[in-house]
Amino acid sequence: MISFFRMIKFAAQHFFRNFGLSVVSIIILLLALISVNMFFGFNYVADRAIQTVQDKIDLSLYFYQGIEESEIAHVQEYLNALSTVKSTELVSAEQVLANFQEKHKDNPDMMRSLTEVGGNPFGAMLILKVNSIEDYNSVIASLNSDVFNKLIEKRSYENHETAIRQLESFSRNVKIGLLAFTLLFIFISMLIVYNTVKVMIYNHREEIQIMKLVGASNKFIRWPFMIEGMFSVLIAVALTIFIVYPFLLKFIQMYFSGLNVDVLSYFQTNFYLIFGGQLLGALLLNTFSSSIAVGRYLNR
């Protein structure tokens, strides 16, 4: 127990008496953590941006004129039962007519044509949204049967098919790209932190040799360096939270104010996962790096 407290005391002494080096170490960790958080933030924004565009795309099914409402309700029921379908909205034939009249009220030609046709030329309409853009194909395929073809006159999807396919491909590429960038960035951050620790320990290589000559065990030499690293990580993570919240996230939020994104609430909801994960990751990385770097001089 005495040794344990001494190791903590030595670590604290070392931390404060090499304050310049400690500050450098904290700054490097801080920059790495801020960058990782920026990536998390932008990742979320990109995800939300794709989601927003997806939400704006829907599939409209135009029924033949005169189809019974009960039959349409049947189709709606069938669609609602599909796990890929997010929502459905039934627009009656009367409402479709009213919408048409409202939309073209300033267009006399359109209004005249409507009068000439007489009555309500429109059938009812079903607007549906799917959970993911990739699901449109399966929904369309499931409606492609004789039973449904007798009821459905037109599918709006046919008009947007190319756009949906492009968006689907873009969305997939963005997700893969962001994941690759995030992993690459985390890897680079890890290398930077590892090398910083290595340089720090290199500066203390003579001290390590002296401690060995005086009779210190490897554990007694290694742990204060590892604990000192933990101090740096704790301070760096605390500073990251302090900087990321009031400044960076608000900046991202402001920059993407046009989109339906709430970066702050995303970070708040996932606070323990995001910052706890970073704390744990940085602690493991720092401890591992210190242990390896000190070990190099202990074995000489």
Residues that bind another protein (CB under 8 A): 2-3, 6, 13-14, 17-18, 206-207, 209-218, 220
Shortest reach from residue 211's CB to another protein, in Å = 7
Determine the longest span between alpha carbons in the chain, in angstroms: 106
Shortest reach from residue 14's CB to another protein, in Å = 7
With beta carbons less than 8 A apart as the criterion, state whether 98 and 27 touch: no
Nearer to another protein, 41 or 229 (CB): 229
E strands within 25-182?
A: 59-63, 85-91, 125-130, 152-155
Nearer to another protein, 116 or 206 (CB): 206
Nearer to another protein, 14 or 155 (CB): 14
Nearer to another protein, 3 or 99 (CB): 3
Shortest reach from residue 171's CB to another protein, in Å = 55
Task: Supply 234's token pair.
Answer: 């704790």
E strands within 113-189?
A: 125-130, 152-155
Shortest reach from residue 208's CB to another protein, in Å = 10
User: Which DSSP string do the residues of 171-226 spell out, in sequence order?
Assistant: HHHHHHHHHHHHHHHHHHHHHHHHHHHHHHHHHTHHHHHHHHHHT--HHHHHHHHH
Shortest reach from residue 278's CB to another protein, in Å = 30
How far apart, in whole angstroms, are the C-alpha atoms of residue 69 and residue 76?
10
Nearer to another protein, 98 or 216 (CB): 216
